[in-house]
Amino acid sequence: MEKLNFLKNGVLRLPPGFRFHPTDEELVVQYLRRKVLAWPLPATIIPEVDVCKADPWDLPGDLEQERYFFSTREAKYPNTNRSNRATVSGYWKATGLDKQIVTSRGNQAVGMKKTLVFYRGKAPNGCRTDWIMHEYRVVPQHNNPMQTNAVPVENWVLCRIFLKKRSAKNDEVGKPRTTNSPVFYDFLTKGDRTHLNLVPSSSSSVSSGITQVSSIESDEHEETSCCNSVPCLRTKP
């Protein structure tokens, strides 16, 4: 008999203050292995759901939290071990190498963890999303007589599905960078001096704080006046 039941209509409902954050070893040893061998579970807390019958956002549970499901693997082709992971509008694609789950005592391998990413569309031209799934499976333990003699009920796996959160740094990738650095203008160019020679209105002369520069006719006189006009650009304290 299972001791506690926290599932209501297939959705996890924990009392206030309780959180379900098991380790990889606890998921494999305390839940998945017991499920495979039809042993009593510590609690009814993980629902049975075929994760490939729906898209990840349509699976039961809170989309903002990690969700755990018992699921069975469906062979993609007869007489093969390759799983069919196609969903309604996409597919799960394995990435990287499978990770071995080792016990904290004795360094004994008890399971394997596969990481998958959800893609929208049809393979192999799907669009990658931020949905991640960790698929756990049990490995046989030949030195354990209880498990060696037991017959697995079904080809169960345990799936942990969550939405990968993007950092603020990743969100800014591809966006134009804005800086608050000051902009400097070269008032010594001929074009700018032409604008400075215009007689400003009384309101604009007060707001700009720049002393009016007189017009210059000859090139020789222009060089001298330019040098003399530099201090004029400084406002007195």
Q: List Cβ neighbours of 133 (8 Å cut-off, separation of 6 or more).
A: 51, 56, 92, 115, 116, 117, 118, 159, 160, 161
Predicted pLDDT of residue 19: 84
Encode pLDDT of 78-92 as tens digits.
Answer: 666 678 899 999 999
Is there a domain that residue 178 lies in?
A: no
Residues 21-62: pLDDT tens digits?
Answer: 999 999 999 999 999 999 999 988 999 999 999 999 999 999
Is the confidence at residue 235, as pLDDT, over 50?
no
Establish if 170 belongs to a structural domain: no
Domain of residue 204, residue span: 190-233
C-alpha separations of 231 from 150, 210, 213, 217 in Å: 94, 11, 11, 21
Q: What percent of the chain has pLDDT over 90?
A: 43
Residue 180 included in any domain:
no
pLDDT for res 226: 42
Q: Most confidently modeled of 63-67, 157-161, 219-223? A: 157-161
Asked if 69 and 159 touch (Cβ cutoff 8 Å), the reply is yes
175-199, pLDDT tens digit by residue?
444 445 555 545 555 555 555 455 5
Neighbouring C-beta atoms of residue 158, cutoff 10 Å? 25
Q: Which residue has the tokens 């079904």?
A: 154
Residue 150 has pLDDT above 70, yes or no: no
Calculate what percentage of the chain has a pLDDT beyond 70.
60
DSSP state for residue 171 in the 8-state scheme: H
Residue 135 and residue 217 share a domain: no
Distance CA 225, CA 145 (A): 101
The whole-number pLDDT of residue 98 equals 96
Look at residue 212 and tell me if it is in a domain: yes
pLDDT at 223 (0 to 100): 43
Tally the domains of the chain.
Answer: 2
- Reduced to 3 states (helix: H, G, I; strand: E, B; else coil), residue 120 is strand
C-alpha distances out from residue 57 to 83, 116, 120, 135, Å: 21, 15, 12, 17
DSSP state of 15: P
41-51 tens-digit pLDDT: 998 899 999 99
**Is the pTM here over 0.85, yes or no?**
no
Q: Considering the domain boundaries, does residue 1 fall inside one?
A: no
Lowest mean pLDDT among 67-76, 194-203, 205-214: 205-214
Nearest to 112 by CA among 89, 141, 153: 141
Q: Are 119 and 126 in contact (CB under 8 A)?
A: yes
**Phi then psi dihedrals of residue 197, to 5 deg:** -75, -15
Whether the predicted pLDDT of 106 surpasses 80: no
Kindly tell me the number of DSSP H helices and DSSP E strands found in the chain. Answer: 7, 8
Residue 215 is assigned to a structural domain of this protein:
yes
What integer pLDDT is reported at residue 186 of this predicted model? Answer: 56
Distance CA 72, CA 16 (A): 31
> Does residue 144 carry a pLDDT above 70?
no
- CATH code: domain of residue 83: 2.170.150.80
Phi, psi of 52 (to 5 degrees): -95, 0
